[in-house]
Chain A
Amino acid sequence: MSLGEITEELIAKGREAFLNEGIEVLLGFEKSSSGFLKPKAFFSPDSLKTLRWDASASTNLAALLPKYRGKKIGILAPGCVSRSLVILINEGQIVREKLKVIGIPCPGVIDRRKLGPLKNSYFLGSKGGKFLLESDNQILELPLEEYLCDCCLSCRYPSPVIYDYMIQGKSREGATDALEGRVKKINSLSEIERLSYFQDQAEKCIRCYACRQACPMCYCESCFVESSEPRWLTAAPTIPDNLIWLLTRTYHLAGRCVECGACEQACPEGVDLMSLLAWAKQTVSQLFNYTPGLEIGERPALGSFSYDDPDFFWGGGLTEEKKCCT
């Protein structure tokens, strides 16, 4: 499948959604000045000429939805975005009927950081398993597989779980353990080493909250970090403050994160956010056998309970007789 076809098909499907389904806005991508795609809201079928999708589309478009709440929205959705949409529907943030999903079988997106010295070159496009960069008037053809972000490498749901239209094509196969490997590496450290690893991450963090803005699950209108009554954190980005931000963010996303990797891509300081989130996903799935964003109508893992959840509380596991007859 060449790049031209998917662009034409996208624009055709977008037009159809505008004309037949009456969407008011289509969330998609267009080329930025660096060639890498940037998110863009299209408001009319005629504006769709610049609509694109390729391997540099690393933003999760579902994060833009709260901005257009109440409107009938069309959205481009590879696997992770469609799962974010499912969670937003389950949490009552959007209504399925007001959503037209253009599904994209996702071959994965690149991690700009992995490009190293090439990260500031112009992104021409991706085609098959390759992508093209222009650097110093030279055109480089690079293999996609080596530059995919860790989240895409270990993605188990590259095809959309909900969609109204589907773009032709093949999604990526053969998920690796890139993220699991990162968690395993941290788990193999001692307690003190783990603490100093996360303190190093917290030291890098400048608390710009780019991760929060990039995340479709962080839709709260007021966040605990900005609350002044109670005031949980100081504004100063010191290590303990940053650590509380990173930990609480992870806790709030446990059982909700779909591992799209948008936060890590958005982070200007290269903080290791995905290790924490991948750990949270593993833990929730081990404890409660739950994978977020696969089914409409599901309750969130930490917003529900089961009578026979694992019980590690002190004094737990008391029998009925012991409890009542003191």
Chain B
Amino acid sequence: MENFEPKIIAFLCNWCSYAGADLAGVSRFQYPANVRVIRVPCSGRVNPLFVLKALYEGADGVLVSGCHPGDCHYQSGNYYARRRLEVFKKLLEFSGISPARFKMAWISASEGAQFAQLIREFTEEVKKAGPNQEIIREKSDLEEFLNESR
């Protein structure tokens, strides 16, 4: 538990947050290496099933990030995302899945420092919540065996 390193999946929108993450790298801001980035065309593209599927397949935390309201490349994609993910986040909370596992954020292409800060905060939160045991897929005996022998 002491040295638990969470796996975090981040869905970043192509136009703002992905560029923001890139800027964080180019500017050499330090942030934990727990995050795996998946680029999506827009935060409005993120189906809540992506989040459930990520948790189901073994992620400990999921981040969705897009352009600030008003900045969407497709005019309104992030406004739709805001409504939908809001309801979805509250649904996760209601069903007893730790709210620390799912985070939504606005990161613009110029916010490299903020991106690094966000990842630091989120990783800390997920670490506190511990390994995902709420909705993870049950592994078959064969999978367990292969994992152990690896």
User: How far is the CB of B15 from the nearest CB of chain A, in Å?
Assistant: 15
Contact of A224 with B by CB under 8 A: yes
Known: A312-B86, A312-B89, A314-B118. A198 touches B96 (CB 8 A): yes
Contact of B31 with A by CB under 8 A: no
Known: A232-B53, A313-B82, A314-B118. A194 touches B103 (CB 8 A): no
Contact of B149 with A by CB under 8 A: no
| Chain A residues near B136 (CB-CB < 8 A) | 240
Within 8 Å by CB of A309, from B53, B79, B91, B105, lies B79
| Chain A residues near B71 (CB-CB < 8 A) | 323
Tell me whether A326 and B69 are in contact (CB under 8 A). no
Binding-face segment, B2-10, B33-41, B106-114: B106-114
Interface size on A, residues (CB 8 A): 52
Contact of A149 with B by CB under 8 A: no
Known: A283-B87, A313-B104. A243 touches B49 (CB 8 A): no
Tell me whether B56 and A240 are in contact (CB under 8 A). yes
Closest Cβ neighbor of B80 among chain A residues: A305
Tell me whether A309 and B83 are in contact (CB under 8 A). yes
Within 8 Å by CB of A310, from B79, B86, B107, B118, lies B86
Within 8 Å by CB of A195, from B84, B103, B134, lies B134
Bound-complex Cα distance A198 to B82 (A): 26
Within 8 Å by CB of A192, from B48, B87, B96, lies B96
| Chain B residues near A303 (CB-CB < 8 A) | 80
Chain A 16-32 interface mask (CB, 8 Å, partner B; 1/0): 00000000000000000
Interface residues of B in 77-97 (CB under 8 A from A): 79-80, 82-84, 86-92, 94-97
Within 8 Å by CB of B107, from A240, A279, A309, A315, lies A315
Tell me whether A302 and B87 are in contact (CB under 8 A). yes
Within 8 Å by CB of A194, from B82, B83, B94, B111, lies B94
Interface size on B, residues (CB 8 A): 42
Tell me whether A315 and B68 are in contact (CB under 8 A). yes
Tell me whether B95 and A284 are in contact (CB under 8 A). no
| Chain A residues near B121 (CB-CB < 8 A) | 314
Tell me whether A302 and B82 are in contact (CB under 8 A). no
Interface residues of A in 175-192 (CB under 8 A from B): 186-187, 189, 191-192
Tell me whether A195 and B95 are in contact (CB under 8 A). yes
| Chain B residues near A239 (CB-CB < 8 A) | 138
Tell me whether A195 and B96 are in contact (CB under 8 A). yes
Within 8 Å by CB of A305, from B52, B82, B91, B104, lies B82
Contact of B19 with A by CB under 8 A: no
Contact of A254 with B by CB under 8 A: yes
Known: A232-B53, A243-B95. A311 touches B87 (CB 8 A): no
Within 8 Å by CB of A279, from B89, B94, B110, lies B94
Q: A189-B96, A283-B90, A326-B111 are in contact. List 4 more A-B contacts (CB 8 A).
A: A224-B49, A240-B136, A309-B83, A318-B106
CB pairs A–B below 8 angstroms (6 shown): A198-B96, A254-B91, A304-B83, A309-B82, A309-B83, A316-B68
